[in-house]
A and B are shown apart, each in its own frame.
Chain A
């Protein structure tokens, strides 16, 4: 399959990532591994289902102009996807070294690409700073579509935004407001204001579902009052 040797790059949460040459192209091999803590039946279904959907979504998004790596080869039974290698750095590692203007530009582009994705009924499912790359050509890539899927449910899109929001808060609390403001600006490039408002409401709803959120209680009380 591979025309070069395999060099292990990282061990992700659900897959091993190798670097190789595939048909003369620098490539990444993503190999989903069996988990000792998972029931064997689960394990089989998981690997197959997630490999298939990941390859499908990546190929589809690529055709829409979202910067996802190109898929070169898929084997769902073995849990293997071979894709184009992007030379770059994960935003979870690189964002802190950047000036605030650059952070805003990056967030804007993530917003733009996310809205294209959502407008085509695709959700990412794990949209965090660890799954966004800045390439050596300064282009923003979205990677790791292992939890993605097709849905017309606003909830799924809102979860993407919620996850991104929380990952920025987790890694760079001081950048969060600037980042999310730009994100929404970028999102508006492919979405209507009314849709963005609905989406923002849903994101807030999701946040309020967390444990012990005082605001949720207040919200319910004020709703009752004006009913």
Chain B
């Protein structure tokens, strides 16, 4: 991963590593904010970053959505296996790790506590510094690393988040966000209530997309854009009502089609406005919903109208994963951001725009 932006970013990190008397950094990152328990290991050696391993195990409910207790039980069982797998694949011993990074929020409390407990233990037992990482910032930074981006307009869409952000004065600032449920939540809840899911995604295609192919007609559904903010809950209610009235596969398909078009158009519209307002030349789509092809196409075509380049993140790094926590942990660590294990509390609510990001490169 040698590229210009990373080089200049790592130049400053290398300096701080050097000042700390280190030539190399190896960070182990732990992710457990929601359905995924992940462990990633990232190493920077002579200014070149490398993702050594990105292991994870994903909790898939048999029915319904994610139950926080069931998910956390799952994490507790999977955690040692995932950790062992990561260490042995990377051929790294815990004693060789420079520091432990952990996603302390935002997310589901019971799930967060599993990752935090393990991280605090590893940190105390092996006397390694502990780095607090914000899950949302980590999502953005891994996308920037993999695409060699300096200052993109960020569109972060997942089961828990739907937001548009840009960096400014050493922080990410939120330009627009959902005021109620997230885009992923909208699609998942609809699919579940209508009886199309779980599983929600099969072979990389969401059930709502599968269903949309059955339909042809466009139905008028509530389109709620408030300035740069979005609201999906009224759309969900209206779509479910229409779905219950549907008498054929084709009619249900039309509801799916209209739901998807309405929701995506809302997101693309605010993204477009944010892109023009912030005047960026790069657009980055990340988060669990980033894999959606229809959304990708719409955003790519929007970006091209404004001469901006569109980037997305490979599925293994777009969804929740440990490597992104490790990489963001490394960035924090290079600037001396650590936390004492006894003070590493989880924060279920921890906004992206509350996190200082001293590594950000600004013009």
Q: Could you tell me which A residues sit within 8 Å of B by CB distance?
A: 11-14, 35-39, 41-42, 92, 125-128, 130, 147, 159-160, 162-163, 166-167, 169-171, 173-174, 206, 209-214, 216-217
CB distance from A127 to the nearest CB of B (A): 8
A209 touches B272 (CB 8 A): no
Residues of A within 8 A of B347 (CB): 214
Task: Please measure, in the bound complex, the distance between the C-alpha atom of A42 and the C-alpha atom of B161, giving whole angstroms.
Answer: 26
Q: Give me 17 other A-B pairs in contact (C-beta within 8 A), A169-B173, A173-B173 excluded.
A: A14-B269, A39-B218, A42-B261, A126-B227, A126-B273, A130-B276, A147-B227, A160-B227, A166-B175, A173-B169, A206-B179, A209-B180, A210-B174, A211-B177, A212-B350, A214-B347, A214-B350
B174 touches A214 (CB 8 A): no
A170 touches B175 (CB 8 A): yes
Stretch of B195-203, B301-309, B311-319 contacting A (4+ beta carbons < 8 Å):
B301-309
Task: Please measure, in the bound complex, the distance between the C-alpha atom of A37 and the C-alpha atom of B294, giving whole angstroms.
Answer: 9
Interface of B (DSSP majority class): mixed
Within 8 A of A (CB), among B278-304: 278, 297-299, 301-302
Which of A128, A159, A170, A173 is B166 in contact with, Cβ under 8 Å?
A170
Q: Could you tell me which B residues sit within 8 Å of A by CB distance?
A: 105-106, 160-161, 163, 166, 168-169, 173-175, 177-180, 182, 218, 225-229, 261, 264-265, 268-269, 272-273, 275-278, 297-299, 301-302, 305-306, 347-351
Task: Please measure, in the bound complex, the distance between the C-alpha atom of A42 and the C-alpha atom of B228, giving whole angstroms.
Answer: 19
With A170-B166, A173-B169 already in contact, the answer to whether A159 and B351 are too (CB < 8 A) is no
CB distance from B272 to the nearest CB of A (A): 5
CB distance from A30 to the nearest CB of B (A): 14
With A37-B297, A170-B166, A213-B349 already in contact, the answer to whether A163 and B227 are too (CB < 8 A) is yes
Task: Please measure, in the bound complex, the distance between the C-alpha atom of A217 and the C-alpha atom of B105, giving whole angstroms.
Answer: 15
4 closest cross-chain pairs (CB), A and B: A37-B298, A212-B349, A163-B227, A13-B273
Give the number of residue pairs across the A-B interface with Cβ within 8 Å. 98
With A36-B301, A37-B297, A170-B166 already in contact, the answer to whether A210 and B275 are too (CB < 8 A) is no
Task: Please measure, in the bound complex, the distance between the C-alpha atom of A12 and the C-alpha atom of B306, giving whole angstroms.
Answer: 9
B351 touches A211 (CB 8 A): yes
B265 touches A38 (CB 8 A): yes
Sample 17 A-B pairs with CB under 8 A, ordered by A number.
A13-B275, A35-B302, A37-B298, A37-B301, A37-B302, A38-B265, A39-B265, A42-B261, A126-B228, A159-B227, A166-B175, A174-B169, A209-B180, A210-B174, A213-B351, A214-B349, A214-B350
CB closest chain-A residue, reference B178: A211
Task: Please measure, in the bound complex, the distance between the C-alpha atom of A147 and the C-alpha atom of B225, giving whole angstroms.
Answer: 9
With A11-B306, A162-B227 already in contact, the answer to whether A210 and B278 are too (CB < 8 A) is no
Which of B269, B276, B298 is A12 in contact with, Cβ under 8 Å?
B276
B261 touches A39 (CB 8 A): yes
B349 touches A11 (CB 8 A): no
Residues of A within 8 A of B105 (CB): 212
Task: Please measure, in the bound complex, the distance between the C-alpha atom of A37 and the C-alpha atom of B229, giving whole angstroms.
Answer: 19
Residues of B within 8 A of A217 (CB): 349
Which of B106, B227, B272 is A14 in contact with, Cβ under 8 Å?
B272
Task: Please measure, in the bound complex, the distance between the C-alpha atom of A163 and the C-alpha atom of B270, giving whole angstroms.
Answer: 12
A170 touches B178 (CB 8 A): no
Residues of A within 8 A of B106 (CB): 211-212
Task: Please measure, in the bound complex, the distance between the C-alpha atom of A25 and the C-alpha atom of B273, giving whole angstroms.
Answer: 29
Task: Please measure, in the bound complex, the distance between the C-alpha atom of A7 and the C-alpha atom of B268, giving whole angstroms.
Answer: 27
**Most chain A beta-carbon neighbours within 10 Å: one of B160, B225, B273:** B273
A37 touches B350 (CB 8 A): no
Residues of B within 8 A of A11 (CB): 276, 305-306
Residues of A within 8 A of B229 (CB): 159, 210
Residues of B within 8 A of A171 (CB): 168
Residues of A within 8 A of B180 (CB): 209
Task: Please measure, in the bound complex, the distance between the C-alpha atom of A130 and the C-alpha atom of B218, giving whole angstroms.
Answer: 34
Residues of B within 8 A of A147 (CB): 225, 227
Residues of B within 8 A of A125 (CB): 227
Residues of A within 8 A of B348 (CB): 212
Which of B169, B177, B265, B306 is A42 in contact with, Cβ under 8 Å?
B265
CB closest chain-A residue, reference B257: A39
Residues of B within 8 A of A211 (CB): 106, 160-161, 163, 177-178, 182, 351
With A13-B272, A211-B351 already in contact, the answer to whether A41 and B218 are too (CB < 8 A) is yes
Task: Please measure, in the bound complex, the distance between the C-alpha atom of A210 and the C-alpha atom of B178, giving whole angstroms.
Answer: 7
Task: Please measure, in the bound complex, the distance between the C-alpha atom of A54 and the C-alpha atom of B226, giving whole angstroms.
Answer: 16
B306 touches A37 (CB 8 A): no
**Most chain B beta-carbon neighbours within 10 Å: one of A37, A92, A162:** A37
Residues of B within 8 A of A206 (CB): 179
B351 touches A212 (CB 8 A): yes
Residues of A within 8 A of B228 (CB): 126, 163, 166
CB distance from A39 to the nearest CB of B (A): 5
Which of A35, A36, A210 is B177 in contact with, Cβ under 8 Å?
A210
Task: Please measure, in the bound complex, the distance between the C-alpha atom of A194 and the C-alpha atom of B27, giving whole angstroms.
Answer: 55
Residues of B within 8 A of A174 (CB): 169
Residues of B within 8 A of A35 (CB): 302, 305
Which of A37, A159, A167 is B277 in contact with, Cβ under 8 Å?
A167
